[in-house]
């Protein structure tokens, strides 16, 4: 079958984003339904690509303009990319439905356009096989993310957006310096070609170049010293956008960091970069959990919790073993589901009751039983209680960590999990045993999405093996660089 139709994953959101100003004339509701339609089409394409990649076991390689890599840019839709492109599309669809209710005051046309471009940027970051193209997609993602953070025209939103922009600007400059160093040393920008040549790079250049690339991506991936923007942006952004940030924008950054780490695994000095990432990730988990403990705003609390889970994923991805990478991918799927659910439910409470301070959640179990139930399931899953999905991925990460010899990191994560349990149980207690009366009618569409995500959490919790085999395949896609290089049809150019 012709693999080129996978390029529609990039083309459809891009062209639909350009049509938004034309649709605007038909009114606000039309734009919202248009957004739902486009994300649904994207989900269909991503589903077709996913089925194709997993049925044949072969990655789909899109060659831009028919030029073979490394001369042309190629998209590499392997098992990992196919899986995550599907997750991006499904989550975007859910958030497009949520936007029907959640975005009322500000202009909808700009929102729809930025929403589609955010989806495009994340898809591109996951699918691309070229480091400069990765930079361009990363900038598409981050510029739309800056704009969407500042979308509610309040002082807080502008402040959060400015923090994000300054950090993101520094990060992207460092990333570009890293690209320049790698290009100067190898003369190529294609990831497969770099993987071939990585062994011959001067060790200092390889180390500094890779560290700068990881440093630049760490802003997007919210690793410890560079994640100060994240809780503010999560708190100030519109509710659907917050869910998108945590469900897939972070994942795109993490994946890109992991991909770049593993394609350079032949370079000397690789191990020390890996160690740096492990330390950053363990600190992310620890600092974020303790910051979450003292939050009064529930959305901000969940934002910190999301950052700590991301740290756990980065920890697993940087262990340098196959078991670690597979566990990390599994945790990425689970975290996307759970955090989308939590931000959806908390955002829904925010728009219904006006605000997400902890006092609004008092007695929510009597006022909005369905929403409270959904938040309860999400919280228990996030802590990693058995029978819920995160239990399985967390335990695999911990086992992989012990096997790789990072006992101190595992101890740190386990200690942080206790802290996580404390603040989630405090939230659950407030919801079910707090004061509060007056039943509020809940929205059907949002309830359906939330219940679907709850069922998914319970399903993965009871039968983890279906998703575990999928994430094993996806993990091998990242870890096994030899196969990756073999799959990309490199043109014989003098190296």
What is the DSSP code string of 182-207? HHHHHS--BHHHHHHHGGGS-HHHHH
What are the start-end ranges of the E strands in 219-266?
none
Distance (Å, whole) CA 385 – CA 232: 28
Q: Quick one: which of 128, 87, 124 has its CA closest to 12?
A: 124
Q: Shortest distance, CB of residue 167 to another protein, whole angstroms?
A: 9
Distance (Å, whole) CA 326 – CA 306: 20
- The reply to whether 283 sits near another protein by the rule CB under 8 A is no
Q: Shortest distance, CB of residue 301 to another protein, whole angstroms?
A: 9
Q: Shortest distance, CB of residue 121 to another protein, whole angstroms?
A: 12
Of positions 96, 165, 221, 336, contacts another protein by CB under 8 A: 165
Distance (Å, whole) CA 249 – CA 482: 27
- The reply to whether 146 sits near another protein by the rule CB under 8 A is yes
Piece in contact with another protein (CB under 8 A), picked from 2-10, 291-299, 448-456, 486-494: 291-299
Residue with Cβ nearer another protein (23 or 147):
147
Residue with Cβ nearer another protein (237 or 412):
237
124 close to 168: Cβ distance less than 8 angstroms: no
Of positions 55, 57, 66, 294, contacts another protein by CB under 8 A: 294
Distance (Å, whole) CA 394 – CA 36: 33
Kindly determine how many residues on this chain lie close enough to bind another protein according to the rule CB under 8 A.
Answer: 41
Piece in contact with another protein (CB under 8 A), picked from 95-103, 153-161, 269-277, 407-415: 153-161
> Contacts with another protein in 298-317 (CB under 8 A)?
300
- The reply to whether 354 sits near another protein by the rule CB under 8 A is no
Piece in contact with another protein (CB under 8 A), picked from 31-39, 74-82, 111-119, 294-302: 294-302
Q: Shortest distance, CB of residue 246 to another protein, whole angstroms?
A: 17
> Contacts with another protein in 76-135 (CB under 8 A)?
132, 135
Residue with Cβ nearer another protein (41 or 136):
136
Piece in contact with another protein (CB under 8 A), picked from 9-17, 56-64, 290-298, 340-348: 290-298
43 close to 86: Cβ distance less than 8 angstroms: yes
Rg (CA), the chain: 21
Element spanning 61, H or E: strand 60-63
Distance (Å, whole) CA 458 – CA 345: 17
Q: Shortest distance, CB of residue 357 to another protein, whole angstroms?
A: 12
Of positions 295, 305, 417, 443, contacts another protein by CB under 8 A: 295
Binding string, 54-73, against another protein, x = CB under 8 A? --------------------
- The token pair at 56 is 């044949």
362 close to 435: Cβ distance less than 8 angstroms: yes
Distance (Å, whole) CA 277 – CA 311: 10
> Contacts with another protein in 168-187 (CB under 8 A)?
168-170, 172-173, 176-177, 179-180, 183-184
227 close to 284: Cβ distance less than 8 angstroms: yes
- The reply to whether 422 sits near another protein by the rule CB under 8 A is no
- The token pair at 104 is 């009322």
Element spanning 77, H or E: strand 74-77
Distance (Å, whole) CA 248 – CA 134: 16
- Residues in contact with another protein by CB under 8 A are 132, 135-136, 139, 143, 146-147, 150, 153-156, 158-162, 165-166, 168-170, 172-173, 176-177, 179-180, 183-184, 189, 231-232, 235-236, 291, 294-297, 300
């Amino acid at each position: 079958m012709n693999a080129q139709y996978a390029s529609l994953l990039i083309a459809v959101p891009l062209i639909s984003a350009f049509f938004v100003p034309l649709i605007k004339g038909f009114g606000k509701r039309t734009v919202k339904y248009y957004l739902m339609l486009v994300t649904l089409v994207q989900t269909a394409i991503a589903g077709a690509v996913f089925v194709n990649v997993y049925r044949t076991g072969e990655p789909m390689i899109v060659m831009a303009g028919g030029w073979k890599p490394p001369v042309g840019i190629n998209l590499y839709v392997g098992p990992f990319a196919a899986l995550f492109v599907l997750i991006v599309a499904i989550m975007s669809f859910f958030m497009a439905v949520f936007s029907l209710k959640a975005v009322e005051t500000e202009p909808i046309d700009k929102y729809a356009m930025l929403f589609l471009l955010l989806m495009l940027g994340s898809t591109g970051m996951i699918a691309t096989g070229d480091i400069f193209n990765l930079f361009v997609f990363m900038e598409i993602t981050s510029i739309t993310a800056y704009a969407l953070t500042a979308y509610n025209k309040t002082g807080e939103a502008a402040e959060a957006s400015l923090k994000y922009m300054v950090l993101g600007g520094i990060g992207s400059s460092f990333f570009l310096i890293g690209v320049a160093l790698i290009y100067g040393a190898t003369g190529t920008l294609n990831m497969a070609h770099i993987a071939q040549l990585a062994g011959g790079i001067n060790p200092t250049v390889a180390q500094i170049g890779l560290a700068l690339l990881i440093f630049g991506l760490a802003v997007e991936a919210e690793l410890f010293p560079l994640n100060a923007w994240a809780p503010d942006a999560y708190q100030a952004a519109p509710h659907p956008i917050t869910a998108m940030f945590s469900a897939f924008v972070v994942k795109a950054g993490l994946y890109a960091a992991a991909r770049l780490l593993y394609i350079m695994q032949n370079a000397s000095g690789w191990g020390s970069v890996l160690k740096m990432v492990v330390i950053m990730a363990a600190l992310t988990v620890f600092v974020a959990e303790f910051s979450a403990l003292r939050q009064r705003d529930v959305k901000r609390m969940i934002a910190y919790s999301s950052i700590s889970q991301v740290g756990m994923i980065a920890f697993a991805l940087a262990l340098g073993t196959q078991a670690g990478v597979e566990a990390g991918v599994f945790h990425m799927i689970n975290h996307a589901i759970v955090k989308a659910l939590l931000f959806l439910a908390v955002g829904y409470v925010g728009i219904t009751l006006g605000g997400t301070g902890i006092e609004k959640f008092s007695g929510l179990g009597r006022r909005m039983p369905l929403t409270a139930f959904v938040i309860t399931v999400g919280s228990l899953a996030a802590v990693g209680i058995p029978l819920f999905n995160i239990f399985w991925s967390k335990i695999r990460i911990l086992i992989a960590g012990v096997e790789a010899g990072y006992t101190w990191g595992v101890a740190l994560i386990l200690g942080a999990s206790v802290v996580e349990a404390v603040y989630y149980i405090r939230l659950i207690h407030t919801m079910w045993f707090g004061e509060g009366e007056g039943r509020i009618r809940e929205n059907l569409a949002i309830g359906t999405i939330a219940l679907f995500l709850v069922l998914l959490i319970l399903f993965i919790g009871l039968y983890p093996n279906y998703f575990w085999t999928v994430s094993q395949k996806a993990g091998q896609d990242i870890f096994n660089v030899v196969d990756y290089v073999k799959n990309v049809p490199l043109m014989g150019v003098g190296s």
